[in-house]
Structure 1
Amino acid sequence: MAGWRETLDRFLAADPQDVGCDEVMAVLHLYAELQAAGVDPAEQYPGVAAHLAGCEACAEDARGLLAAVQDDDRQPPTRLVLE
């Protein structure tokens, strides 16, 4: 369990642009798509970038989603066959 000083230090170190976990989760798919396309997503979503810099749980989700998007881009499209 974190002590009160550690909790206070984390609070004081938080970036004021940080939008929080809920907002990040709402747009993380867009953020990952931009990043996979070679665009700097922080330019369009600076609050998300600020949050990802300080929240390891969301940053891990972002890395996983980016890996999935990049892997999906490498896969040839599958064709659905209807009989």
Structure 2
Amino acid sequence: MSGWAELDRFLATDPRDVGCEEAMAMLHVYVELVAQDAGAERRYPGIAAHLRACGPCSDDFEGLLAAIGGPAD
């Protein structure tokens, strides 16, 4: 394994991505804003960037959104 795929993924990372820890700390707030159509992505671009890049965190987001009856994609 050469590591090129990992390097490509790293270089494609959105610099606004806040990472798992911060995204999870604020996920409940982000989910509420999405459910209210209150400009969540504009207010928290780092969380939005992270959710686009991280499958497990995105799954948690989708689960919370479904639990509160938020909009489906």
TM-score, with length taken from structure 2: 0.88
2:62 alignment counterpart: 63
Provide runs of 4+ in structure 1 moved above 3 Å.
none
Quick one: percent identity of the two aligned structures?
51
Give the drift of 1:64. Answer: 0.4
Residue 3 (structure 1) shift: 5.1
Q: Does structure 1 residue 19 correspond to structure 2 residue 11? A: no
CA RMSD of aligned residues (A): 1.5
Higher relative contact order (CA 8 A, sep 6+): 2
Aligned residue pair count? 70
Task: Give the deviation of 1:40 after TM superposition.
Answer: 2.3
Structure 2 counterpart of 1:43: 42
Structure 1 or 2, whichever has the larger Rg, is 1
Structure 1: gaps spanning 5 or more residues: 72-83
The CA distance in 1 between the partners of 2:69 and 2:33, in whole Å, is 11
Q: Which runs of 5+ in 2 are unaligned?
A: none
Q: Normalised by the size of structure 1, how large is the TM-score?
A: 0.78
Question: What is residue 52 of structure 2 aligned with on the other side?
Answer: 53
2:32 corresponds to: 33
**SS of the residue 1:63 aligns to:** helix
Once residues 45 and 27 of structure 1 are traced to their aligned partners in structure 2, the CA distance between those partners, rounded to angstroms, is 9
